[in-house]
Amino acid sequence: MRARGLITAAAVIIAVGLTTSPVRASGDGIELPSQDWSFAGVFGTFDRGELQRGFQVYKEVCSGCHSLNYIAFRNLADLGFNELEVKAIAAGYEVQDGPNKEGEMFNRPGLPADRIPAPFPNDNAARASNGGALPPDLSLMVDARPDGANYLYALLTGYDDAPSGMTVAEGMNYNTYFPGHQVAMPPPLFDDGVEYADGTKATAAQQARDITAFLAWTTEPNMEARKEMGVMAILFLLIMTGLLYLSKRKIWADVH
Amino acid sequence: MSGPNFSNSVVRWIDHRLPVFTFMHHEMHEYPTPKNLNYWWNFGSLAGIVLVILIVTGIVLAMHYTPHVDYAFQSVERIMRDVNYGWLIRYIHANGASFFFIVVYIHIFRGMYYGSYKAPRELLWILGVVILLLMMATAFMGYVLPWGQMSFWGATVITNLFSVIPIVGDWIVTLLWGGFSVDNPTLNRFFSLHFLLPFVIVGVVVLHIVALHRFGSNNPLGIDVRGKQDSIPFHPYYTIKDMFGLGVFLTIFAAVVFFLPNAMGHADNYIPANPLVTPAHIVPEWYFLPFYAILRAIPDKLMGVLAMFAAIGVLFILPWLDRSPIRSGTFRPLFKIFFWLLLADCVMLTYLGGKPPEGVYVILSRLGTLYYFFHFLILLPGLSIFETPKPLPRSISQPVLGSGAGPVTAEKENS
Ligand code: HEM
């Protein structure tokens, strides 16, 4: 009886905490369609093929406008690339270094320890190239939006004609899921806009899935370690709590 | 005075000169505790353990954190990505703060239901309310440290509240900011204070426990311990019971830390602070929401701020508002109903605090606020006059032994 009351109370309090937490209240109250993600749930893991394709989409499409400041080339080993592949990917980029002995900055090929270079030297340059709008850094995007993974997929596949009666401002695009429906980002994904090395058919929807999974990884590269440890921790705690309960029963047996 | 006899000679040598072992023996083995405490009495020691968890993880975080507007956000992301198990430390600390409030709120409502604030435990209760205020200040300043959008805008909204205070308001706000807006000096002083205040809390918790040990715990029947048959030593009985409760708590806590680590946070706080972009909804952390709802329920700004502080202020004088000599709600049929209504009112205010201040939400917030103060200022003083309490059992051991005399119903009702 008492234990039940206690658990109910805890559940109510946690439920209130969760439902009032604005995380659930999606920006404009626009309903987001839910997708099946391999990384969702207690046992969810990343699909390495999906991550590698997502990286390709980032590299060939998004990186023209968006930085990925928190990711270094060495982190890409998590996607299943081996050391040589990581080195080769890094070497494909020009990275600014310096100053050298003469006090000059110079360019050199990237190394695994370098971060992925940003497309623009500063925010003003980024705005100047994007009609005044700032393309945000994508590293944390999945945690930085309510229901981030579903939102990203919806945003990238949500470009449409504006409903009649609505005028879209100059340089803006209609998007079903962007708060306010007018977004400065032009539709970035098209069928066969990239050619996947593994032969997967590169529909726009497939690319949206892959880049979303990739950004879920950049948001939390440690997610798999967290969940693995979580399963062990909960198992351990359940056993420990069970033993403590038995000890408690035994010690209290003589109290009347 | 004959102390305990320690078998270890080193212990004896030390204890003769510095009687810490005698002290511990006295407070743990000899300290008599009512034998009928239910599981709601677990939450005090649980709060103490959560406080320790927060301090330990906080110190590790401080080793890697940089309190500067240009680096704070990055340094937190470095902790999440590059520091070994940094993500674990940070998730424990962030969610630990939420669980601290869950545990302490339960602890407070336990005290209210069983009348633990009544004589002779008034100061014990008041020290508890002081702890609550310190916790709130600490949590508020901690939330500013990652320097995300909600950190910045939450800090701006809350510190601005002080500007409505007549005469000294602007001076206080400038002092909090260390300048003319929320900026680097604000972040620096908040970090310094966020490091300091938990240790102040530890100090007040020590006083809280000194006051507790003066008369010992209250109990579900709310009647005094009459003799040996009513009590048991704290150790091992309550140590093992507290450990079991801790196990249950840690299991729930781990489930959130490992599987829903951001559920109680806010997505906007993963966007770096930007003084030029205001988020669509600025919402404080969930544990401030009932007070936020009270603040916004009142159209006048100054009155709103006063009402918000008064909502905690009434807790200080609660021992003198409730004049009934009966402690436990179990024997107060009317009080019991109003206790649950107050709890429901607080849950509703929490919900409303997270909603935009418009339409029906405003009306409900006003009703909820009105009822909150009505409960403390009118109902409680009135109840002691109109309510007929049920007869109290003669002693703690009697209803349990079931020796005939006195009502046996009490145990059942404490579920
Ligand atoms: C950091 C936060 C706190 C800690 C660590 C703490 C710790 C404790 C501990 C260990 C006990 C004894 C066990 C128990 O009876 O549950 C206790 C009792 C008590 N606490 Fe707290 N407490 C905290 C906050 C508060 C607050 C905020 C209040 C009230 C506003 C409060 C009011 C009381 C009262 C009235 C008792 C005596 C309960 C009884 O014997 O019935 N405490 N506290």
pLDDT tens-digit readout, B277-333 = 999 999 999 999 999 999 999 999 999 999 999 999 999 999 999 999 999 999 999
The 10 Å Cβ neighbour count of residue B222 is 21
Residue B414 pLDDT exceeds 50: no
In a domain, A134, yes or no: yes
Q: Is B217 in the pocket of ligand 1 (CB under 6 A)?
A: yes
DSSP secondary structure string for all residues of B232-244: EEHHHHHHHHHHH
- Tell me how far CA of residue B91 lies from CA of B58, B166, B260, B261, B266, in angstroms: 11, 40, 10, 6, 13
Residue A17 pLDDT exceeds 60: no
Q: What angle do CA A167, A169, A175 make, to 5 degrees?
A: 75
Considering only CA atoms, which residue is closest to atom 27 of ligand 1? B128
**Total domain count for chain A?**
1
Query: What is the greatest pairwise CA distance in chain B?
Result: 73
In a domain, A94, yes or no: no
Which among A71, A50, A185 is positioned nearest to A130, based on CA atoms? A185
B412 — pLDDT class (breaks 50, 70, 90): very low
The CA distance from A245 to A234, in Å, is 16
The CA distance from B200 to B202, in Å, is 5
pLDDT tens-digit readout, B20-58 = 999 998 888 878 899 999 999 999 999 999 999 999 999
Query: DSSP assignment, residue B31?
Result: -
In the annotation, is B301 catalytic? no
Which among A226, A212, A237 is positioned nearest to A41, based on CA atoms? A226
pLDDT tens-digit readout, B271-284 = 999 999 999 999 99
For chain A, the average pLDDT equals: 91
List the single residue in A with minimal CA-CA distance to B240. Answer: A248
pLDDT of residue A28: 55
pLDDT of residue B170: 95
Query: What is the greatest pairwise CA distance in chain A?
Result: 86
Kindly state the percentage of chain B with pLDDT values over 70: 95
The 10 Å Cβ neighbour count of residue A181 is 19
- Domain carrying residue A244: 2-71+116-251
Asked whether B286 and B98 are in contact (CB, 8 A), the reply is yes
Pick B263's closest partner by Cβ from A23, A70, A145.
A23
Pick B263's closest partner by Cβ from A4, A18, A231.
A18
> CATH number for the domain including A153?
1.10.760.10
The CA distance from B246 to A187, in Å, is 52
Q: What angle do CA A78, A61, A27 make, to 5 degrees?
A: 85
Residues 6 or more apart whose CB falls under 8 angstroms from that of A125 comprise: none
pLDDT tens-digit readout, A140-181 = 999 999 999 999 999 999 999 999 999 999 999 999 999 999
In the annotation, is B322 catalytic? no
The CA distance from B396 to B359, in Å, is 51
Cβ-defined contact of B81 to A230 (cutoff 8 Å): no
pLDDT of residue B251: 98
pLDDT tens-digit readout, A174-212 = 999 999 999 999 999 999 999 998 999 999 999 999 999
Query: DSSP assignment, residue A171?
Result: T
Asked whether B350 and A16 are in contact (CB, 8 A), the reply is yes
In a domain, A82, yes or no: no
Report the gap between the CA of A161 and the closest CA in chain B (Å): 26
Which among B256, B282, B264, B267 is positioned nearest to A151, based on CA atoms? B267
- Tell me how far CA of residue B236 lies from CA of A111, B218, B240, B285, in angstroms: 60, 19, 6, 38
CB contacts, 8 Å: A2 with chain B: 38-39, 414-415
B243: amino acid identity, one letter = M
pLDDT of residue A10: 53
* Set B98, B217, B324, B397: catalytic member: B217
Asked whether B116 and B110 are in contact (CB, 8 A), the reply is yes
In the annotation, is B384 catalytic? no
In the annotation, is B82 catalytic? no
Kindly state the percentage of chain A with pLDDT values over 70: 89
- Tell me how far CA of residue A76 lies from CA of A55, A216, A222, B320, in angstroms: 9, 14, 13, 64
For chain B, the average pLDDT equals: 94
Q: Is B111 in the pocket of ligand 1 (CB under 6 A)?
A: yes
Token output for B51:
């406080």
Give distance in angstroms: CA of B204 to centre of ligand 1. Answer: 11
In a domain, A207, yes or no: yes
pLDDT of residue B29: 81
pLDDT of residue B398: 76
* Set B241, B266, B355, B375: catalytic member: B241
Which is the closest atom of ligand 1 to the Cα of B47? 5
Considering only CA atoms, which residue is closest to atom 23 of ligand 1? B128
In a domain, A158, yes or no: yes
In the annotation, is B75 catalytic? no
In a domain, A87, yes or no: no
pLDDT of residue A9: 54
In a domain, A239, yes or no: yes
In a domain, A15, yes or no: yes
CB contacts, 8 Å: B248 with chain A: 241
pLDDT of residue A25: 37
pLDDT tens-digit readout, B236-263 = 999 999 999 999 999 999 999 999 999 9
Give distance in angstroms: CA of B128 to centre of ligand 1. Answer: 6
Which among B205, B199, B99, B79 is positioned nearest to B145, based on CA atoms? B79
The CA distance from B190 to B187, in Å, is 5
ipTM: 0.90
Residue B408 pLDDT exceeds 80: no
Residues 6 or more apart whose CB falls under 8 angstroms from that of A241 comprise: B244, B247, B248, B250, B251
Asked if the C-beta of B351 comes within 8 angstroms of chain A's C-beta atoms, the answer is: yes
pLDDT tens-digit readout, B178-203 = 999 999 999 999 999 999 999 999 99
pLDDT of residue B269: 97
What is the value of pTM for the model shown?
Answer: 0.90
Pick B258's closest partner by Cβ from A140, A229, A240.
A229
pLDDT, mean of residues A99-127:
96
Lowest mean pLDDT, pick from A8-22, A36-50, B29-43, B119-133? A8-22
DSSP secondary structure string for all residues of A34-79: P---TT-STT----HHHHHHHHHHHHHTGGGT---TT-BGGGGGGG
